[in-house]
Amino acid sequence: MNDPFQEDSAAGPLGATGKSEGKMSTETEEKLAASLTAETTELLPFLPYLLQDFWELGSDPMVIAELIKEQVDLSENTKVLDLACGKGAVSVKIAQKLRVKVKGIDLIPAFTEFAAQKAKEFDVDDLCDFAVDDINEAVKKEKDYDCVILGAVGNVLGSPIETLNKLRSTIRTGGHIVIDECYLPDDGKQEDVRYNNYEYFTKKQWEALFDKAGLELIKTVLNSDDTENLDSVSGMAAITTRANELIEKYPDKKAIFEGYIRSQQNEYDDIDNSLVAVTWILKKRGHHLEELL
């Protein structure tokens, strides 16, 4: 894991060694930072350190595992793709629980390395494969999956319709998509969202897009508090402790670490007050409107 306390590590974002691995576009960097509630790309090198106390980074692996178990015809040949898999909590737990093959892809090498270690620890390394890539590139190559997961990734794949079309392109007809998202209640307002990172859609708007993208909504799970997750009080305490350690080490960057604590708190407040956290499972129909036009 990237350790900003090592001498060379402040130099470059993301690499397990702290060294930058390849140049990414400003937009990719900005969306990457935002996907982890960081308001500035300056925080990128520090995210593995700040998040070291967590395995789950967003979605609830048990909710996703249950949905897949319930809705997908599973066999030993079932292939699942976990896009922006973070530290692999979802991938490893579904491999362990459902005995399916999982490929997890994330842009932060320290995260995929952590995920691979966890797969070993849980004795599912024969079922799991982790790779470092931009998921916008990965969707062009990864095809014919039985199920694809996008858990707590926001707008990294583009607008909601772009996201749905990209996800759809990775699965076979009859395959499933699992999305963990937040939507705006019908009477909610974008201005009420405190961590105002991108435009949230209402449930109705999402549902219209599912249809347009040739996807059938099979089941919706509204997410209650997941105690292992970042939105717990202890989660906030862990983030604050790590941010304070970084402030001590890098006093000149105090403002960005304090900003990180604030944006995390705002995001949890949004989920409690202004947004609805949901997990959807959808099924790919044979064709979709845009293909017919």
Ligand X SMILES: C[S@@+](CC[C@H](N)C(=O)[O-])C[C@H]1O[C@@H](n2cnc3c(N)ncnc32)[C@H](O)[C@@H]1O
Task: Please report how close the Cβ of residue 106 comes to ligand X at its closest, in angstroms.
Answer: 4
| Calpha distance 171→282 (Å, rounded) | 11
Residue 147 burial by Cβ neighbours in a 10 Å radius (0-12, 13-18, 19+): buried
* 101/288 with CB nearer ligand X: 101
| Residue closest to ligand X when measured from CB atoms | 86
Selection from 142, 77, 78, 138 nearest residue 107 by Cα: 138
Task: Please report how close the Cβ of residue 55 comes to ligand X at its closest, in angstroms.
Answer: 8
CB-based contact 219:70 (threshold 8 Å): yes
Task: Please report how close the Cβ of residue 187 comes to ligand X at its closest, in angstroms.
Answer: 27
| Calpha distance 253→256 (Å, rounded) | 6
* 20/212 with CB nearer ligand X: 20
CB-based contact 16:113 (threshold 8 Å): yes
Task: Please report how close the Cβ of residue 57 comes to ligand X at its closest, in angstroms.
Answer: 4
* 136/274 with CB nearer ligand X: 136
Task: Please report how close the Cβ of residue 129 comes to ligand X at its closest, in angstroms.
Answer: 15
Contacting positions for ligand X (CB under 6 A): 28, 31-32, 35-36, 56-59, 84-86, 89-90, 106-108, 111, 134-136, 151-153, 156
Tell me, rounded to whole angstroms, the distance of Cα 241 from its chain centroid.
Answer: 23
Task: Please report how close the Cβ of residue 252 comes to ligand X at its closest, in angstroms.
Answer: 25
**Distant-in-sequence, close-in-space partners of 245: CB < 8 Å, separation ≥ 6:** none
Phi first, then psi: what are they for 217, rounded to 5°? -75, 120
* 214/243 with CB nearer ligand X: 243
Quote the strand ranges of 76-123, DSSP E. 79-83, 101-106
* 59/197 with CB nearer ligand X: 59
* 95/288 with CB nearer ligand X: 95
